[in-house]
Amino acid sequence: MRFNPLTRTWLQVSPQRTQRPWQGETAPPARRDVPAYDPDCYLCPGNARAGGARNPHYASTFVFDNDFAALVPDTPPGALDESGLLIARAEPGVCRVVCFTPRHDLSVARMTTAQTRLVINAWAAQYTELGALPFVRSVIVFENNGPMMGASNPHPHAQVWANATIPNEVAAEQAGLLAYRAEHGICLLCAYVERELAEGTRVVHADERIAVLVPFWATWPFETMVVPRRHIRGLNELEPDERDALANAMRITTATYDRVFDAPFPYSMGFHQRPTDGEPHDEWHLHAHYLPPLLRSATVRKYMVGYELLGMPQRDITAESAAERLRALAATL
Ligand code: H2U
Ligand code: ZN
């Protein structure tokens, strides 16, 4: 059993299970010829979106309000509590879409560091702008990459969801960060990153500013965390050289993923950062999680099911063996 100090949850690790046979579903790797411009894409420059609006002829990044937003700002207040059984409340928020580039055929793995740096700038600006709204307490930036992860379109894009309430995962990590600091007097992620860099076995890539590692408590095979080495709380606090280093770390991480199974590698990634509720939150340390859903290979469709759904997360491939494979591939880039 391994402990995740960020979420304060346990994980079961059983490496002997990689030996078991597989007679379940397999699928061929998804390979597509993607054009640089797709007249039918609702994210390409100049095209009509599904909601009826038309995109400008944008030249670098492009941000718009999600036409099918899950959270909307003018949600009327409301609450329900029936005998502690049926409990609900209204949740205002903002959802946006961030297109990374006009090029329909690119991905972070194939964009230049300079191009991705512009995307990071756009994300930081969204964090600042939406976080400044009086009702917004949390801003999450995330990317679904690949159809298996529910990305609706290959055009490189991310989503921004700004909530009035701090979402469960962020709240759990905040409790973990606070508990660690109370007990040890230092930031959990500052301490963790330097400890991992000193040992090296779970590190995929690192420079003076950013580290990419497979966390000791990784649940998904090839799951990684991208962490600034300096104690900064949100995307807006990244200095220019750190934005470049983050862009480079994201390029290395995604390009490495694309080589793991010799196929476009699906993942969801996103940033956890300081809530925007007006408190200082010095316990917060910005980081990104990359969470790939494939448990075995690009063709073996194995998801977290029975025991994971009903008991607790369990993994077969250890963090160390996944890191070793990723590190070797990253070195070839
Ligand atoms: P995903 O690929 O991660 O689903 O993100 C695409 C988002 O783009 C999705 O949330 C929005 C969808 O609501 N969208 C628009 O806002 N306008 C459109 O014309 C199509 C899709
Ligand atoms: Zn497109």
Instruction: Give yes or no for a contact between 108 and 100, defined as CB atoms under 8 angstroms apart.
Output: yes
Instruction: Give yes or no for a contact between 247 and 205, defined as CB atoms under 8 angstroms apart.
Output: no
**How far lies 104's CA from each of 51, 52, 87, 119, 147, in Å?**
19, 20, 43, 15, 15
List residues near ligand 1 (CB under 6 A): 42, 49-51, 66-68, 97, 144, 150-153, 159
Question: Where would I find the beta strands (DSSP E) of 148-286?
Answer: 157-163, 203-206, 210-213, 224-228, 267-272
**What does residue 321 show for φ and ψ, rounded to 5 degrees?**
-70, -35
Catalytic option among 104, 155, 157, 205: 157
Q: Assess whether pLDDT exceeds 60 at residue 28.
A: no
Q: 114 alpha carbon to ligand 2 midpoint, in Å?
A: 20
Q: Report the DSSP pairing between strands 203-206 and 224-228.
A: unpaired
pTM comes to 0.93
The better pLDDT of the pair 80, 19 is held by 80
Q: How many CA atoms lie within 13 A of 182 on its CB side?
A: 7
Q: Assess whether pLDDT exceeds 70 at residue 20.
A: no
Helix (H, G, I), strand (E, B) or coil at 314: strand
The DSSP output letter for 15 is G
Closest CA to 120 of 289, 291, 281, 239: 239
Distance of alpha carbon 156 from alpha carbon 221, whole angstroms: 24
Q: What local confidence, expressed as pLDDT, does residue 306 receive?
A: 83
Question: Poorest-confidence range of 64-78, 161-175, 254-268?
Answer: 254-268
Distance of alpha carbon 329 from alpha carbon 333, whole angstroms: 7
What residues are paired with 4 via a beta bridge?
9
Predicted confidence band at 16 (pLDDT cuts at 50, 70, 90)?
confident
Q: Token digits for 124?
A: 């930081």
The better pLDDT of the pair 232, 26 is held by 232
With vertex at residue 125, the alpha carbon angle to CA 121 and CA 129, rounded to the nearest 5 degrees, is: 175
Domain extents for the chain? 38-330
Give the mean pLDDT of the chain: 92
Predicted confidence band at 221 (pLDDT cuts at 50, 70, 90)?
confident
Q: What local confidence, expressed as pLDDT, does residue 305 receive?
A: 76
Burial (Cβ within 10 Å: 0-12, 13-18, ≥19) of residue 331: exposed
**Ligand 1 closest atom vs CA 69:** 13
Q: What local confidence, expressed as pLDDT, does residue 262 receive?
A: 65
Q: Assess whether pLDDT exceeds 90 at residue 128.
A: yes
Distance of alpha carbon 222 from alpha carbon 104, whole angstroms: 26
Mean pLDDT of 238-262: 94
Active site residue 157: yes
pLDDT > 90: what percent of the chain?
79
Q: Assess whether pLDDT exceeds 80 at residue 29.
A: no
Q: What is the separation of C-alpha 74 from the centre of its chain, rounded to a whole number of angstroms?
A: 27
**Ligand 1 closest atom vs CA 65:** 16
Q: What local confidence, expressed as pLDDT, does residue 281 receive?
A: 97
Mean pLDDT of 106-135: 97
Question: Poorest-confidence range of 54-68, 213-227, 292-306?
Answer: 292-306
Taking each helix axis from N to C end, the angle separating 188-199 and 168-184, rounded to the nearest 10 degrees, works out to: 80
Q: What local confidence, expressed as pLDDT, does residue 150 receive?
A: 62
pLDDT digits (tens, 9 = 90+) for 131-190: 999 999 999 999 998 766 666 789 999 999 999 999 999 999 999 999 999 999 999 999
Q: Token digits for 330?
A: 């990253």
- Choosing among 3.90.1720.10, 3.40.50.2020, 3.40.190.10, 3.30.428.10, the CATH entry for 38-330 is 3.30.428.10
Ion ligand 2 — residues with CB under 5 Å? Answer: 38, 41, 43-44, 104, 155
Distance of alpha carbon 121 from alpha carbon 64, whole angstroms: 15
Q: Assess whether pLDDT exceeds 70 at residue 308.
A: yes
Closest CA to 95 of 58, 134, 128, 142: 142
Helix (H, G, I), strand (E, B) or coil at 128: helix
Residue type at 223 in one-letter notation: E
Q: Assess whether pLDDT exceeds 80 at residue 226.
A: yes
Q: Token digits for 82?
A: 């029936």
The better pLDDT of the pair 18, 202 is held by 202
Helix (H, G, I), strand (E, B) or coil at 57: coil
The sign of the CA dihedral 146, 150, 152, 158 is: negative
Q: 252 alpha carbon to ligand 2 midpoint, in Å?
A: 23
